[in-house]
């Protein structure tokens, strides 16, 4: 009765562990499982049927049994582990063998829903969920071929599952093996995406997102076909895409559902948007503070007019406004949806109007800030948008120091920074669309 | 190792911040940006005027006059700067006007000073003023306040410029003064009660001194022979006939025959008849226009050759044939002896919206009628 004792012991500590006994044909069975993970009322039937089947089968030919569902002596620790994974154990008291069964589990995962973070107009409207099995299923339904293979590994005390998708012939399998090994070898717990960055050996202070997340199975499939490595972390409702490249800032797969001419003008628009989002605040500081001679006289005069009673220098002024906008953005994310609209109105309209009337900042700056904030939203992925949000401060600082010259220096610094970024030998700035090759190989 | 790396970055950042001197720069609202500078001489002292736009929120934009006197130009500007609370930023100066009297004495030194000054752009338009500088500035300001039009557009190509006046910027004046082979003509203007600016043709400079003036017609010919734009240019042929020039091309052909230099200027015009006598056919108009152009151009070139000034830049086109020593005397020795001939070709593109009945041949029509 060693097993029963130990179960009793665990039950003392975990009130949701259930142990139920059943007598069939004079043999008593114990059914053990976590109430919080297993739907017992639905599982009961399966269990009963299984035991009866087993009784009959054992008198008939042995051969139908699949390996997993056969009665055998299993190590106690393995059984406990199975319990925590949401399985049910059927214990035969007399023979002291057990059977591990996949039960009907509690509805712990949400169903497939419309994407929330990446809104698209034309394109598939399903989104990944927290359950990586479901996510893989979504991808398999999009690529119904034997070429898709799934590689799984588990890591850490949490026993977190990582599933890698491999498209035969396209995905670099050596690299997938290497990435998998990096995750397996990581000594600490992988809690968030940041830990994956650390496990892969990327710098924590990188301005560029190396591993991007996408919510759309359509995008993920496209990335797999481009040769990127797509993998799922259980509990994270996004596909993680290794090798985020500079192209992904301008392009997303669902663009191609539009008219081609429109798509190309869309790319141009996005490039212009990136330019505005990155350069405009810096340009303002440079032109107002250090190089006003570059403005046309009419523009110079109207800016002078709007700055008439502003007490701060342009740098302080723009930092105040940028900070305010960041606060509004972050507050709108944190707050419930119904209240975040109010934040938009209060922050954007009322504060913007009042701050100009109070002469704390100039009216021209409000236009600049508005243009910057709007342009920042045009970038494909929110993560890439964060990069731009950070980069513009560098340009603003350089512009405040050296004017237009500093503006250009800031741009050069950023360009050289971006140009030197590689992940596993694959450069961030790469113009080839298909196939990922490491430069080290 | 890693510690060292961060140390270096922090030190570099400190150096960048503390050596940049960015605290010395002033924001745009602490700078005054004069748009016009007037220079005159007052009993051996330079007298510099500036027009500065003054803008106050929700009020009309106004202009303010400031002036300063000093022994030199820079001294005068310094005196002027002392009077104003904000920094004076000369970068936005768009126009420089000199007193005409100053022009007769020579503006060489002043132009040189302006070119030397680092905070002064080399692009402002330059003109001479015929009247008293103070009156001129006052009048410009009052005109602006009454009418609100952009002042000095007259000198600027994008606003009020016409082919009858030369558009000259400071660096061109500097080039005109110091180049061996080219000279410059600067417009002479005055203020006026109305919207108009008084315009008295162009002063031809030789080594910084006014030696002659060109009438507005002559200036037009000069602009046509130089590569100026001709859109919407009307030319009077006689009292009743007028053509509009649409396009033109100029070619300078020169050949050397020993000491003699033959220069043929081939000018081609495309034009529209805008006003004509009833009895003139297209061919008549064309012929009259060609003759008139040729006569006027030859007359003007002769006048310039006599004065030893080369505002057309004829010398520029043949300077590759001479050594530097020869070029030094080019304007005085070689240039006056060039045999200049002008060939004018004109094509009438159309007759405006109506047909020129004189051009039509009515024979066929008459025959049909008889049949």
pLDDT at A437: 55
Q: Tell me, what's the pLDDT at A265?
A: 92
Give, for all 371 residues of chain B, the pLDDT tens digit.
566 788 888 998 888 888 877 777 788 888 888 888 899 988 888 899 998 888 665 566 678 888 899 898 889 988 888 888 888 888 888 888 898 888 888 888 888 999 998 888 888 888 888 888 888 888 888 877 776 655 555 556 666 566 777 778 899 899 988 888 888 888 888 876 665 667 788 888 888 888 888 888 888 888 888 866 666 777 877 777 888 888 888 888 888 887 788 888 898 888 888 877 777 777 888 888 888 888 888 988 888 888 888 888 888 888 888 888 888 888 888 888 888 888 988 888 877 777 666 666 666 677 777 76
Compare A250 and A411 and report the one with higher pLDDT.
A411
Tallying the residues shown for chain A, one arrives at 441
Q: Which residues of A touch B57 (CB under 8 A)?
A: 305-306, 308-309
In this predicted model, what pLDDT tens digit does every residue of A207-221 receive, in sequence order? 888 888 888 888 888
Query: What pLDDT does residue A279 have?
Result: 92
Q: Which of A287, A297, A402 sits opposite B35 (nearest CB)?
A: A297
Q: Does residue A93 sit in helix, strand or coil?
A: coil
**pLDDT at residue A220, rounded to an integer:** 87
Q: How confident is the model at residue A77 (pLDDT cuts 50, 70, 90)?
A: confident
A289/B33 Cβ within 8 A = no
Q: Distance, in angstroms, between B124 CA and closest chain A CA?
A: 12
B1 touches chain A (CB under 8 A): no
- How much is the pLDDT for B105? 87
Element (H, E) at B339: strand B339-350
Residue A301: which of B17, B61, B89 has the nearest Cβ?
A: B61
Closest CA to A107 of A130, A82, A84, A139: A130
Q: At a CB cut-off of 8 Å and minimum separation 6, what does B163 contact? A: B220, B223, B224, B228, B229, B230, B233
Mutate to test the interface with B, among A283, A288, A291, A293 (most CBs of B within 10 A): A293
φ, ψ for residue B95 (rounded to 5)?
A: -140, 140
Residue B151: its pLDDT value, please?
57
- What pairing do the DSSP bridges indicate for beta strands A211-214 and A229-233? unpaired
With contact defined as beta carbons under 8 Å apart, do A222 and A380 qualify?
Answer: no
Percentage of chain A beyond pLDDT 70 is 93
**What was the pLDDT predicted at A268?**
92
Q: What was the ipTM of the complex prediction?
A: 0.74
On chain A, the residues whose CB falls within 8 A of the CB of B28 are 287-289, 292, 295, 300, 303-304, 307, 314
pLDDT band at A62 (very low <50, low <70, confident <90, very high): very low
Does residue A67 have a pLDDT over 70?
no
CB within 8 Å: A289 and B22: yes
Q: Which residues of A touch B14 (CB under 8 A)?
A: none
Q: Is the pLDDT of residue A411 over 90?
A: yes
A–B CB contacts, 8 A cutoff, strictly below? 65
Q: Say whether residue B19 is in contact with chain A using an 8 A CB cutoff.
A: no
| Other CB atoms within 10 A of residue B311 CB | 26
pLDDT at position A16 is 82
pLDDT 10s digits, A27-51:
777 888 888 888 878 887 877 777 7
Q: Which residues of B touch A403 (CB under 8 A)?
A: 25
**B26 neighbourhood in chain A, CB within 8 Å:** 289
Give the separation between CA A369 and CA B174, rounded to whole angstroms: 44
Q: What is the architecture of the domain spanning B216-371?
A: 2-Layer Sandwich (3.30)
Q: Please spell the DSSP secondary structure of A192-252, one letter per residue.
A: SHHHHHHHHT--TT-SS-SEEEE--HHHHHHHHHTT-EEEEETT--SEEEE---GGGGT--
For residue A203, is pLDDT > 70?
yes
Q: How confident is the model at residue A54 (pLDDT cuts 50, 70, 90)?
A: low
Residue B16 and residue A313: Cβ atoms within 8 Å? no
Q: Which CA distances in Å does B26 have to A288, B79, B86, B203?
A: 8, 21, 10, 40
Strand, helix or coil at A412?
Answer: helix
Task: Give the torsion sign (CA, A114, A120, A121, A125).
Answer: negative
Q: Do B16 and A401 touch (CB under 8 A)?
A: yes
pLDDT of A409 reads 92
Contacts of B56 in chain A (CB under 8 A): 305, 308
> B31 and A292 in contact by Cβ < 8 A?
yes
Q: Are B316 and B181 in contact, with CB atoms under 8 Å apart?
A: yes
Q: Which of A258-262, A346-350, B149-153 has the highest mean pLDDT?
A: A258-262
Whether the CB of B272 is below 8 Å from some CB of chain A: the reply is no
Structure confidence at residue B189 (pLDDT): 83
CATH 3.30.300.210 residue window(s) in chain B:
216-371
B70 close to A (CB below 8 A)? no
Of B17, B20, B29, the CB nearest to A308: B29
Chain B residue closest in CA terms to A313:
B27
Q: What sign for the dihedral angle of Cα B248, B249, B255, B261?
A: positive
Average the pLDDT over each of A3-17, A220-234, B183-197 and give the range with the smallest value: B183-197
Q: Do A292 and B89 touch (CB under 8 A)?
A: yes
Q: At what angle do helices A363-376 and A314-334 cross, to 10 degrees?
A: 40
- Please state, in angstroms and rounded to a whole number, the distance separating the CA atoms of residues B97 and B99: 7
């Amino acid at each position: 009765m060693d097993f029963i004792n130990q179960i009793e012991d665990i039950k003392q500590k975990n009130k949701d562990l259930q142990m139920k006994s059943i007598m069939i044909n004079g043999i008593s069975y114990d059914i053990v499982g976590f109430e919080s993970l297993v739907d017992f009322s639905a599982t009961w039937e399966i269990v009963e049927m299984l035991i009866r089947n087993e009784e009959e089968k054992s008198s008939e030919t042995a051969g139908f049994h699949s390996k997993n569902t056969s009665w055998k002596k299993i190590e106690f620790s393995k059984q406990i582990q199975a319990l925590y994974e949401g399985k049910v154990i059927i214990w035969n008291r007399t023979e002291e063998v057990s059977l591990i069964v996949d039960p009907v589990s509690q509805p712990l995962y949400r169903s497939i829903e419309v994407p929330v973070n990446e809104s698209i107009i034309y394109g598939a409207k399903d989104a990944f969920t927290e359950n990586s099995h479901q996510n893989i299923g979504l991808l398999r339904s999009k690529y119904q071929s034997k070429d898709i293979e799934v590689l799984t590994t588990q890591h850490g005390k949490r026993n977190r599952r990582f599933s890698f998708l491999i498209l035969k012939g396209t995905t670099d399998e050596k690299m997938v093996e290497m990435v998998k090994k990096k995750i397996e070898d990581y000594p600490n717990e992988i809690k968030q995406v940041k830990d994956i960055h650390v496990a892969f050996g990327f710098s924590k202070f990188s301005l560029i997102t190396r591993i991007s997340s996408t919510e759309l199975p359509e995008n993920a499939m496209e990335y797999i076909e481009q040769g990127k490595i797509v993998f799922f972390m259980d509990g994270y409702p996004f596909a993680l895409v290794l090798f985020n490249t500079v192209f992904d800032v301008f392009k997303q797969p669902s663009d191609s559902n539009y008219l081609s001419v429109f798509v190309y003008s869309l790319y141009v628009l996005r490039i212009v948007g990136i330019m505005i989002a990155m350069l405009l605040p810096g340009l303002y500081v440079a032109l107002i503070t250090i190089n006003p001679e570059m403005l046309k006289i009419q523009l110079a005069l109207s800016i002078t007019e709007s700055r008439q009673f502003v007490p701060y220098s342009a740098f302080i002024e723009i930092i105040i406004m940028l900070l305010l906008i960041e606060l509004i953005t972050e507050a709108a994310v944190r707050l419930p949806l119904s209240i975040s609209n109010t934040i938009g109105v209060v922050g954007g309209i009322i504060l913007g109007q009042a701050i100009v009337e109070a002469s704390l900042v100039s009216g021209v700056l409000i236009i600049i800030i508005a243009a910057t904030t709007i342009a920042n939203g045009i970038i494909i992925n929110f993560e890439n948008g964060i990069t731009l949000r950070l980069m513009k401060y560098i340009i603003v600082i350089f512009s405040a120091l050296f004017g237009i010259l500093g503006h250009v220096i800031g741009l050069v610094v950023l360009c050289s920074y971006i140009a030197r970024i590689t992940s596993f030998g694959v450069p961030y700035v790469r113009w080839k669309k298909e196939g990922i090759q490491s430069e080290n190989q | 190792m890693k510690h060292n790396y961060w140390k270096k970055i922090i030190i570099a950042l400190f150096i960048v911040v503390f050596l940049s001197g960015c605290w010395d720069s002033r924001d745009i609202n602490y700078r005054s940006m004069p748009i016009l500078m007037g220079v005159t001489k007052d009993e051996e002292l330079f007298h510099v005027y500036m027009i500065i736009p003054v803008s106050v929120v929700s009020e009309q934009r106004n202009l303010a006059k400031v002036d300063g006197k000093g022994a030199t130009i820079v001294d005068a500007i310094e005196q002027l700067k002392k009077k104003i609370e904000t920094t004076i930023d000369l970068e936005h100066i768009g126009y420089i006007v000199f007193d005409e009297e100053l022009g007769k004495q020579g503006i060489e030194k002043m132009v040189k000073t302006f070119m030397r000054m680092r905070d002064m752009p080399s692009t402002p338009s330059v003109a001479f003023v015929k009247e008293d500088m103070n009156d001129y500035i006052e009048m410009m300001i009052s005109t602006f306040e009454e009418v609100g039009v952009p002042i000095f557009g007259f000198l600027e190509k994008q606003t009020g410029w016409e082919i009858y006046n030369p558009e000259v910027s400071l660096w061109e004046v500097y080039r005109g003064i110091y180049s061996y082979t080219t000279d410059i003509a600067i417009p002479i203007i005055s203020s006026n009660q109305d919207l108009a600016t008084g315009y008295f043709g162009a002063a031809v400079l030789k080594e910084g001194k006014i030696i002659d003036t060109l009438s507005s017609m002559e200036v037009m010919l000069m602009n046509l022979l130089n590569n100026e734009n001709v859109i919407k240019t009307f030319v009077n042929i006689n009292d009743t006939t007028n053509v509009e020039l649409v396009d033109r091309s100029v070619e300078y052909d020169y050949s050397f025959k020993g000491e003699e230099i033959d220069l043929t200027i081939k000018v081609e015009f495309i034009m529209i008849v805008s006003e004509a006598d009833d009895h003139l056919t297209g061919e008549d108009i064309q012929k009259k226009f060609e003759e008139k152009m040729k006569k006027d151009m030859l007359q003007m070139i002769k006048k310039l050759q006599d004065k030893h000034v080369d505002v057309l830049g004829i010398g520029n086109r043949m300077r590759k044939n001479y050594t530097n020593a020869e070029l030094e005397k080019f304007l005085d020795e070689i240039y006056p002896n060039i045999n200049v001939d002008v060939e004018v070709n004109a094509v009438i593109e159309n007759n405006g919206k109506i047909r020129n009945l004189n051009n039509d041949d009515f024979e066929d029509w008459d025959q049909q009628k008889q049949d």
